[in-house]
Every structure is written in C-alpha cells, then in structure tokens.
Amino acid sequence: MSIFDFLLSRKKTTSASIAKERLQIIVAHERGSRGQPDYLPALQEELIAVIRKYVPIDQDQVQVALENQGTCSILELNITLPER
Amino acid sequence: MSIFDFLLSRKKTTSASIAKERLQIIVAHERGSRGQPDYLPALQEELIAVIRKYVPIDQDQVQVALENQGTCSILELNITLPER
C-alpha cells in the first residue's frame, strides 16, 4: 500500500471545505527488505514541537493517526489552528 | 485546492513501486481568511534535522517541493534512505 492509496482511502471521511485554518502533516515510511523499528510514534512529539516554533498549537487540537500496513508506516497529524 | 487534490495531481508522476526504502513528509497549510507569512521554507530544514535523529539522511538524497496555490501551501519532502 502506498501513501496515495492510504490518502485516497481517507478522502471520503475528510470534509472538502473547512473554513478554519488548519495544518496537516503526513510522514510516510516505506521500508525495504530490511527490518527496522518503527520510530514514527516517537517522532510525532518532536514534529509538533518544531511546528510550535512557527504557529501556536494547542495539544488538544492535534489529532494523531498512526497506521501500519505491510511495509508502509504512516503518521498523520491534523491540527486545527486556534483563532487569534 | 486541498491537499488531496494536490496529491492526486502528482500521483501520475510517482512510481507505483519503489524497491528502495524511502520517507515522504508532506506539510500542508490551509490558511483561513487572515494572512500569515509562509513559514514552510524555514520549517523544512528543522524537519529534516528531527528526522535525522532517527534515520540516516544524506542531504543530496532529499528532494524538496514547495507549492503555493490559493490559500494552501504544501511542502513535500521525498527522501531516499541510504543502504546500510
């Protein structure tokens, strides 16, 4: 499964137009033959910390989804940015 | 234009199966009515630095694409991970 298949499968559940400002981060890791520990869960907090340097993010406005399917791990962060 | 439209428009140019291990990072920022400076170019180096804590990344193996279309800014990082 590629990242595109993943995104297509989720398209139906995503509202086409959202008025609020939002930020979406997707990290997809397609592994080759070698095995490797999945580092995406550990990575997500660091990614949020980096983003937070640039835009204000409340922790409760971050939705995290992590999926493992075959050789592809996908971390998806959906952040609704607060009104200023 | 949503992130899904962006990804769909690029699907044709992406090889369906790549044997090498690879990492893809997409950051999409949908702005609301308020204006805001685009911070994605500054963000990309920091994102690579964070990822580098977890997996070995050579600078010349990072492909960066930044697109601005309407109220949506999309930063796409494609990284082919080196063989160990």
The ipTM estimated for the assembled molecules is 0.74
Which residues does chain B have within 8 Å of residue A75's beta carbon, measured at their own beta carbons?
none
pLDDT higher than 80, residue B43: yes
Rounded CA gap, B82 and B58, in Å? Answer: 7
pLDDT at A9: 67
Of A32-36, B54-58, B72-76, the poorest mean pLDDT is in A32-36
pLDDT for the residue numbered B21: 83
Match 């200023």 to its residue by tokens.
Answer: A84
Pick from A1, A14, A25 the residue to mutate for testing the B interface (most B CBs within 10 Å): A25
pLDDT digits 0-9 by tens, B61-76:
899 999 988 888 899 9
Range B30-59 average pLDDT? 82
Per the structure, the count of domains in chain A is 1
Contact flag B25-A25 (C-beta cutoff 8 Å): yes
The domain of B49 spans: 3-80
pLDDT the model gives residue A38: 78
Please list the residues that pair with B69 across neighbouring strands: B72
* CB pair distance less than 8 Å for A30 and B21: yes
- Does B2 sit within 8 Å of A7, measured CB to CB? no
Lowest-confidence segment of A36-40, A58-62, B38-42 by average pLDDT? A36-40
Considering only CB atoms, A4 lies closest to which of B11, B27, B54, namely B11
Please determine, for residue A24, whether its predicted confidence score (pLDDT) is greater than 70. yes
pLDDT tens column, A8-19: 666 544 444 445
Contact call for residues B62 and A50 (beta carbons, < 8 A): no
Neighbouring-strand partners of residue B67: B74
What CATH number is given to the structural domain containing B61? 3.30.1070.10
